């Protein structure tokens, strides 16, 4: 009989139940979309922040960054003389290992650099060899495309981007190109201190807004030949997706030895910038990995702020949809005071009425919730695609959260109204409202 009444009510009061299902559906879709975005926004924003360039510098243990100072202070340029020691270099053929550390998937891009002072057009000019867009086949069977092009997203190119297949094609900085009167397609001679020379063809003129504008970027083998340092590079820039630093990460960065075993495991298995740096040092012997704090710290700050912001927005959304759902349920129950009064007059107990009403509402809510979940998935993808151009990976945990929310909200939302109605005397409801 209970079932008959339930089904009858559901079928006959279609409009009211549709309304509940609709509102619950809206609430759930909102919650699903926001939770989906919330769990994924960190990764997405992290990816976006990669446009600021590398956050790790890999240099040989013996070398320091002292050389770079020569680029500053309006120096005529030319770059430092190359060291004679092989220990001041990193072997190019070992670089693929960077993609084989524990957090390999968090390594977005990396590129090696070798800078040599050359004479070109009657001036001393820094000539930097790099990978523009290198394809690597790893021993693990993975295929990787990496290189500098993606790590200099702020460069404005006039001409074609650097190409590994064009061994003599170079990118010339805007200031240098203006000074030498170079245009895309022209060639220039570069003479290295050792007497070796090469002909460079300008593929593009770039504007970086920094000191790079006074230099030339060329494919790595060309510079290695000119320098007489085959298979060697001076430094590697790595762009990695990282987790914002916390207290543990700061302590580990100071001294990994100070951690307890468990702390160490946690640290090692979290994508902190310091643990990624540590893992690269482990896999490439003889290097030091320095986090570029300008990038790494800002990333952390912006990431955690964005996440916090989205979390708060999600909480607000959940709160509001909860209130809206329970509000509607309250309205729905109030509307049915006559029906409930009648049932009481017929001798129904408070419990059985509550059960009937609640199961009706829950059934409607369930239907709405499922539909809302699907709509929410769609909304999350819509947000992901239109903002970040990629789909949002909705975590499975969203489903139980959503289901619990609907259940709790619907039940809690119904209670005050149900209590008020059960307190009514049937005659009051039936006669002269």
Residue 232 contacts residue 86 (beta carbons within 8 Å)? yes
What are the residues facing 91 on neighbouring strands? Answer: 232
The nearer residue to another protein, 283 or 424, going by C-beta atoms, is 424
DSSP H/E element including 40:
helix 14-49
- Of 100, 248, 331, 401, the residue at the interface with another protein (CB under 8 A) is 331
Site for another protein in 84-143 (CB under 8 A): none
Among 81, 85, 197, 293, binds another protein (CB under 8 A): 293
Neighbours of 198 (CB within 10 A): 20
Near another protein by CB under 8 A: residue from 83, 124, 266, 317: 317
Please give the Cα distance from 198 to 218 (Å, whole number).
11
Q: Which window, 79-87, 142-150, 320-328, 396-404, contacts another protein (CB under 8 A)?
A: 320-328
x/- letters, 384..403, toward another protein (CB under 8 A): --xxx---------------
Is residue 278 part of the contact set for another protein (CB under 8 A)?
no
Please measure the distance between the N-terminal and C-terminal CA atoms of the chain and give it in whole angstroms.
Answer: 29
Stretch that binds another protein, among 21-29, 87-95, 127-135, 263-271 (CB under 8 A): 21-29
Q: How many residues bind another protein (CB under 8 A)?
A: 81
Task: Out of 17, 27, 229, 240, name the contact with another protein by CB under 8 A.
Answer: 27
DSSP per-residue letters across 246-285: -HHHHHHHH-GGGS-HHHHHHHHTS--HHHHHHHHHHHST
How many beta carbons lie within 10 A of that of residue 228, not counting itself? 14
Report 190-219 residues binding another protein (CB under 8 A): 207-210
d(CA 31, CA 17): 21
Nearer to another protein, 268 or 388 (CB): 388
What are the residues facing 170 on neighbouring strands? 202
296 binds another protein (CB under 8 A): yes
Closer CB to another protein, 261 or 431, in the complex? 431
Dmax of the chain from CA atoms? Answer: 110
Task: Check residue 309 for interaction with another protein (CB under 8 A).
Answer: yes
């Amino acid at each position: 009989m209970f079932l008959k009444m339930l089904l009858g009510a559901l079928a006959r009061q279609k409009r009211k139940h549709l309304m509940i299902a609709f509102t619950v559906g809206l609430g759930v879709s909102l919650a699903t979309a926001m939770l989906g975005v919330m769990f994924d926004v960190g990764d997405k924003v992290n990816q976006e922040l990669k446009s600021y360039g590398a956050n790790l510098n890999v240099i040989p243990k013996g070398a320091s960054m002292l050389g770079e100072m020569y680029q500053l202070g309006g120096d005529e340029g030319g770059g430092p003389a190359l060291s004679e020691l092989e220990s001041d270099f990193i072997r190019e053929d070992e670089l693929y290992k960077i993609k084989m550390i524990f957090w390999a998937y968090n390594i977005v891009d990396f590129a090696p650099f070798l800078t040599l002072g050359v004479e070109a057009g009657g001036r001393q000019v820094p000539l930097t060899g790099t990978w523009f867009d290198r394809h690597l086949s790893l021993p693990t069977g993975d295929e990787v495309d990496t290189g500098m092009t993606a790590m200099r997203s702020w460069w404005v190119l006039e001409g074609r981007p650097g190409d590994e297949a064009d061994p003599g094609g170079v990118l010339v900085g805007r200031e240098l190109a203006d000074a030498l009167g170079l245009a895309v397609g022209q060639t220039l001679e570069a003479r290295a201190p050792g007497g070796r020379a090469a002909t460079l063809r300008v593929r593009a003129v770039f504007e970086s807004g920094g000191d790079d504008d006074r230099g030339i970027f060329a494919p790595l083998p060309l510079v290695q030949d000119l320098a007489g340092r085959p298979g060697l590079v001076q430094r590697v820039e790595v762009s990695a997706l990282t987790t914002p630093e916390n207290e543990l990460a700061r302590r580990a960065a100071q001294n990994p030895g100070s951690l307890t075993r468990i702390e160490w495991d946690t640290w090692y298995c979290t994508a902190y910038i310091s643990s990624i740096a540590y893992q690269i040092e482990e896999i490439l012997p003889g290097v030091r990995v320095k986090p570029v704090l300008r990038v790494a710290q800002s990333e952390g700050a912006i990431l955690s702020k964005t996440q916090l912001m989205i979390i708060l927005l999600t909480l607000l959304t959940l709160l509001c949809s909860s209130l809206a759902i329970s509000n509607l349920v309250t309205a729905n129950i109030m509307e049915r005071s006559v029906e409930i009064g009648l049932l009481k007059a017929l001798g129904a107990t408070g419990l059985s009425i509550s059960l009937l009403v609640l199961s009706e509402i829950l059934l409607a809510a369930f239907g709405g919730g499922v539909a809302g979940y699907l709509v929410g998935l769609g909304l999350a993808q819509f947000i992901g695609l239109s903002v970040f151009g990629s789909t949002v990976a909705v975590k499975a945990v969203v489903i139980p959260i959503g289901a619990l929310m609907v259940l709790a909200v619907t039940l809690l939302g119904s209670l005050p109204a149900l209590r008020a109605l059960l307190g009514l005397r049937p005659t009051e409801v039936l006669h002269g409202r």
